[in-house]
A and B are shown apart, each in its own frame.
Chain A
Amino acid sequence: MSTDDTVLALRGVVKTFPGVKALNGVDFTLRKGEIHALLGENGAGKSTLIKVMTGVYRRNGGIIALDGTEIHPANTGDAQDLGISTVYQEVNLLPNLTVAQNVFLEREPKRFGIIDWRRMNREARELLLGYDLDIDVTAPLNSYSVAVQQLIAIARGVSMSAKVLILDEPTASLDAEEVASLFNIMRDLRDRGIGIVFVTHFLDQVYAVCDRITILRNGTLVGEYEAATLSQQDLVSHMLGKELEKAVHEKVGQAEAQTRETLFELNQGSSDVLEPLDISVCAGQVVGLAGLLGSGRTELCKLVFGVDELSQGDAKLNNQSIRFSNTRQAVVAGLGLCPEDRKKDGILGPMSIRENMIMALQNKRGWWRYIPMKKQRELAEHYVKVLKIATSDIEKPINQLSGGNQQKVILARWLAAEPKLMLLDEPTRGIDVGAHAEIIQLIRKLCDDGLGLLVASSELEELVEFADKVVVMRDRRKVAELSGSDISQQTIMQAIAGQS
């Protein structure tokens, strides 16, 4: 089966976690000089497969062969020495080290046995210039945005790749231009004979760069396909095991919006980092927030929620002036915020799915009125079912779920608290097509029930799909507001780019 140009071959790989069979006899073949997409729903086992290949996890069975010889990497260092370099899902760099150190960790250039800082900084700079990153490489990594960090992680991975390069959702926080330049680099590496594994949930990106596609579902192999001959529809149904239903939705037009009562209003509100701006959300309306990373979307969400203080202007909820001195007041008033950084600000890692779900509701009720255990279980079971969260048990710690499922738990947390206005900051980042559609449907349904929604997203397509109104941000100020039929990817893009 494996031909001469096979570089990495997996046969019957098994990986079990307590209570879950994450990989159940998976085969995977990577050839020299190809870009190979690894696809599947959230929790299908993509990241696990990658971690098994690179020695983060030890496999419970099966064979992994590199260039025809079986390998047993015990850690990522081993895998790197073998020529397999990896950019893992979610940026995995060291925030406290300098950019240059991050790029060269474990292969620092040395002179007379001591680290040659000057050369390291120079080479790191040159390397990053290839990604249009003209930054100070001696500054600590955490002084840069997530997008820049993502690029640095990619640059590190690419510069180390000898035989195999693995990219696990590298494009989640990149804009279109950055994605395009990444693709150019990937094609270049492919032409030099390196095998590339590419994981993503953006199907158009799959077709843009990939040669072949391997699909996983529930830890088992569905099949291996040529990208050129597999239609997108077939691809999706292979991934989900069923057809995808597209949500159809009537937009609330300008005229109708006027008849609805305004739920939330910000008049010339500003914070330390935002220019004064107006924004309003009606009951049952979805307001999209568009803009590049760092354009102030997250800051606006924080301002509305009261994490950041209003330095000017005023905010009104149901026509009553609001001003929160802590987040609890916001929650009690009927606000909810799903933060952007799930790992840092969202999940309570070691706590169970149930506890993660009831936390906001409990906080709203106050510490004195403890939700009875029976009710807690019911709630959790209910949302696991409604949101199709893939888990065997509601008592499982949330950090054992796949990224997409964690996001659904956090959504459930706020749904359970029944807010009036919900703020979603990048709610679909890293979410598979199936769940993506489900979440969008959910968003629509919530609106029909009278909830107001403010959704920040960098995916224009989804904004167009569900938003009744789109507010475009640039450089920490509001630059445009589109509504009704004016909303299209084109118009949003133009506003972001500053042409109108």
Chain B
Amino acid sequence: MNKKFLPLYVTSSLFVLLFLVGSVQFENFGTLRVFMNLFTDNAFLIIAAIGMTFVILSGGIDLSVGSTIALSGVIISVLLRDYGWHPIPAFAFVLVLGTLFGAAMGAIIHFYQLQPFIVTLAGMFFARGLSSVVSEESVPITHMFYDNVAMFGFELPGGAWLGSSTIIALVVLGLAIWLANFTRFGGRVYGIGGDAQSAALMGVPIARTTISVYALSSFFAALSGIVFSFYTFSGYSLAAVGVELDAIAAVVIGGTLLTGGYGYVVGTLFGVLIMGVVQTYISFDGTLSSWWTKIVIGLLLFVFIALQRYLVRRGTKA
């Protein structure tokens, strides 16, 4: 067993454990259908959190994710309704726009040596502000293409469903793993997160890498916005508030260190799934009031981090 992957083992085992607990307690919990629904319900979060993983691995943070999701939904819906665009060019448009937006944040962070937390906070206000300027009220999406995409998918045994959002999320996951661990770019991201100064002295192009990382995160956020619009069939400037926090939580639960340099993209997937299982558990239970949900999620966040630290520490000692 490789020690490097310890946090990953811990996170995935915790997910399995949680799923088992749910299965023992409730009938119908331990099915492929519930499992696949975790993906369907959280596909947009998986995509956004994967983008966030790259940023956090590089030692930064991106608070603009939730707003970018809202912005891309609003732009798509307005392009479709008011300008009669077909969804595909509209998607391309928001993806390009998102990438440029992220690149701009990355450039400001790098060239002016400003703190990512604050620059992306400004980015969060900017994207949210732009969405409300484009449209203050919720804009419905009615397009054949959307119906088709939403219907598309494969029936799995036991009434489980592999839908288009899940497929997109899994493709993104594969792409991200390739990017993080099998390309030079990935090594640079980890390197900058480990020690930016040393990385620069070793010849890593810091500017290009930093800009790419934020561009990537915003690209994924825009994509997440597209997937999000498949659920809601609308674009709304106040949608997806606080998703950046969920994404950060998922990345952290997934075993990636916020200080940068350590962690894996797959861990983030498990982070999202764990949060999803908790929510499913609470909805199966049905007696917990909404405030207890918040308290439980907070406590779980704590328990996971504490457990993870304990297990990893014990593992590295032994």
Query: A76, A93, A114: which contacts B200 (Cβ < 8 A)?
Result: A76
Bound together, the chains give a CA A180 to CA B144 distance in angstroms of 76
Q: Give a binary string over B206-250; 1 marks a CB under 8 Å from any A CB, 0 the rest.
A: 100000000000000000000000000000000000000000000
Bound together, the chains give a CA A94 to CA B184 distance in angstroms of 15
Bound together, the chains give a CA A110 to CA B187 distance in angstroms of 13
Closest A residue to B207 by beta carbon equals A75
Query: A56, A75, A105: which contacts B191 (Cβ < 8 A)?
Result: A105
B201 adjacent to A95 (CB under 8 Å): no
Q: Which residues of A contact B183 (CB under 8 A)?
A: 113-115
Q: Which residues of A contact B193 (CB under 8 A)?
A: 96
B203 adjacent to A94 (CB under 8 Å): no
B262 adjacent to A93 (CB under 8 Å): no
Q: Which bracket fits the contact residues of B?
A: 20 to 34
With A94-B195, A97-B191 already in contact, the answer to whether A86 and B201 are too (CB < 8 A) is: yes
A96 adjacent to B261 (CB under 8 Å): yes
B202 adjacent to A115 (CB under 8 Å): no
Of listed A76, A88, A108, A113, residue having the most chain B CB within 10 A: A76
Mark out the residues of chain B between 155 and 205 whose CB falls within 8 Å of any chain A CB in the assembled complex: 178, 181-184, 187, 190-191, 193-195, 197-205
Q: Is B309 an interface residue (CB 8 A)?
A: no
Closest A residue to B316 by beta carbon equals A143
B202 adjacent to A95 (CB under 8 Å): no
Closest A residue to B260 by beta carbon equals A96
A115 adjacent to B184 (CB under 8 Å): yes
A77 adjacent to B205 (CB under 8 Å): yes
Q: Which residues of B contact A97 (CB under 8 A)?
A: 187, 190-191, 194
A108 adjacent to B198 (CB under 8 Å): no
With A95-B194, A95-B195 already in contact, the answer to whether A108 and B200 are too (CB < 8 A) is: no
Smallest distance from the beta carbon of A378 to chain B beta carbons, Å?
Answer: 35
A76 adjacent to B202 (CB under 8 Å): yes
B178 adjacent to A77 (CB under 8 Å): no
B205 adjacent to A92 (CB under 8 Å): no
B residues with CB within 8 A of A? 4, 178, 181-184, 187, 190-191, 193-195, 197-206, 261-262
B200 adjacent to A94 (CB under 8 Å): no
Smallest distance from the beta carbon of B291 to chain A beta carbons, Å?
Answer: 40
B202 adjacent to A94 (CB under 8 Å): yes
Q: Is A298 an interface residue (CB 8 A)?
A: no
Bound together, the chains give a CA A93 to CA B200 distance in angstroms of 10
Closest B residue to A141 by beta carbon equals B194
With A77-B205, A93-B202, A97-B191 already in contact, the answer to whether A106 and B197 are too (CB < 8 A) is: no
Bound together, the chains give a CA A449 to CA B262 distance in angstroms of 49
Query: Which 3 pairs across A and B sit closest by C-beta, in order of nearness?
Result: A96-B194, A77-B203, A96-B261
Q: Which residues of A contact B199 (CB under 8 A)?
A: 94, 105
A105 adjacent to B200 (CB under 8 Å): no
Q: Is A80 an interface residue (CB 8 A)?
A: yes
Mark out the residues of chain A between 65 and 113 whose CB falls within 8 Å of any chain B CB in the assembled complex: 75-77, 79-80, 86, 88, 92-97, 101-102, 105-106, 108, 110, 113
Smallest distance from the beta carbon of A413 to chain B beta carbons, Å?
Answer: 24
Other than the known A77-B204, A101-B187, A106-B203, what 4 A-B pairs have Cβ atoms closer than 8 Å? A79-B203, A95-B195, A96-B261, A156-B202
A94 adjacent to B191 (CB under 8 Å): yes
Bound together, the chains give a CA A80 to CA B206 distance in angstroms of 15
B195 adjacent to A75 (CB under 8 Å): no
A115 adjacent to B182 (CB under 8 Å): yes
With A76-B202, A77-B204, A115-B184 already in contact, the answer to whether A92 and B197 are too (CB < 8 A) is: yes
Bound together, the chains give a CA A102 to CA B191 distance in angstroms of 9
Smallest distance from the beta carbon of A48 to chain B beta carbons, Å?
Answer: 14
Q: Which residues of B contact A114 (CB under 8 A)?
A: 178, 182-183
The 8 sampled A-B contact pairs (Cβ below 8 Å) are: A86-B201, A92-B198, A95-B195, A97-B194, A101-B187, A105-B202, A108-B187, A113-B183
Q: Is A140 an interface residue (CB 8 A)?
A: yes
Bound together, the chains give a CA A132 to CA B190 distance in angstroms of 28
Bound together, the chains give a CA A140 to CA B201 distance in angstroms of 19
Q: Which residues of B contact A108 (CB under 8 A)?
A: 184, 187
Bound together, the chains give a CA A175 to CA B198 distance in angstroms of 24
Smallest distance from the beta carbon of A406 to chain B beta carbons, Å?
Answer: 16
Smallest distance from the beta carbon of A163 to chain B beta carbons, Å?
Answer: 15
Smallest distance from the beta carbon of B201 to chain A beta carbons, Å?
Answer: 5
Closest B residue to A114 by beta carbon equals B182
A140 adjacent to B203 (CB under 8 Å): no
Smallest distance from the beta carbon of A465 to chain B beta carbons, Å?
Answer: 35
Smallest distance from the beta carbon of A272 to chain B beta carbons, Å?
Answer: 10
Q: Which residues of A contact B204 (CB under 8 A)?
A: 77, 105-106
Closest A residue to B198 by beta carbon equals A92
Q: Which residues of B contact A101 (CB under 8 A)?
A: 187
Q: Which residues of B contact A76 (CB under 8 A)?
A: 200-203
Q: Which residues of B contact A77 (CB under 8 A)?
A: 203-205
Smallest distance from the beta carbon of B304 to chain A beta carbons, Å?
Answer: 22
Bound together, the chains give a CA A275 to CA B181 distance in angstroms of 42
A93 adjacent to B198 (CB under 8 Å): yes
Q: Which residues of B contact A88 (CB under 8 A)?
A: 201
Q: Which residues of B contact A106 (CB under 8 A)?
A: 184, 202-204
Smallest distance from the beta carbon of A464 to chain B beta carbons, Å?
Answer: 36
Smallest distance from the beta carbon of A76 to chain B beta carbons, Å?
Answer: 5
Q: Which residues of A contact B197 (CB under 8 A)?
A: 92
A75 adjacent to B187 (CB under 8 Å): no
Q: Which residues of B contact A113 (CB under 8 A)?
A: 183
A96 adjacent to B190 (CB under 8 Å): yes
B187 adjacent to A96 (CB under 8 Å): no
A94 adjacent to B194 (CB under 8 Å): yes
With A96-B194, A108-B184 already in contact, the answer to whether A75 and B203 are too (CB < 8 A) is: yes
Smallest distance from the beta carbon of B283 to chain A beta carbons, Å?
Answer: 39
Q: Give a binary string over A113-135; 1 marks a CB under 8 Å from any B CB, 0 the rest.
A: 11100000000000000000000
Smallest distance from the beta carbon of B53 to chain A beta carbons, Å?
Answer: 15
B201 adjacent to A80 (CB under 8 Å): no
B187 adjacent to A115 (CB under 8 Å): yes
Q: Which residues of B contact A80 (CB under 8 A)?
A: 203
Closest A residue to B261 by beta carbon equals A96
Smallest distance from the beta carbon of A322 to chain B beta carbons, Å?
Answer: 28
Bound together, the chains give a CA A76 to CA B206 distance in angstroms of 11
Smallest distance from the beta carbon of A1 to chain B beta carbons, Å?
Answer: 31
Smallest distance from the beta carbon of A106 to chain B beta carbons, Å?
Answer: 5
B261 adjacent to A75 (CB under 8 Å): no
Of listed A56, A75, A79, A101, residue having the most chain B CB within 10 A: A75
Smallest distance from the beta carbon of B208 to chain A beta carbons, Å?
Answer: 10
Query: B4, B181, B201, B261: which contacts A92 (Cβ < 8 A)?
Result: B201
Query: B178, B187, B206, B262: which contacts A105 (Cβ < 8 A)?
Result: B187
B202 adjacent to A56 (CB under 8 Å): no
Q: Which residues of B contact A105 (CB under 8 A)?
A: 187, 191, 199, 202-204
Q: Which residues of B contact A79 (CB under 8 A)?
A: 203
Smallest distance from the beta carbon of A91 to chain B beta carbons, Å?
Answer: 8
Smallest distance from the beta carbon of B317 to chain A beta carbons, Å?
Answer: 10
Smallest distance from the beta carbon of B318 to chain A beta carbons, Å?
Answer: 14
Smallest distance from the beta carbon of B177 to chain A beta carbons, Å?
Answer: 11
B202 adjacent to A92 (CB under 8 Å): yes
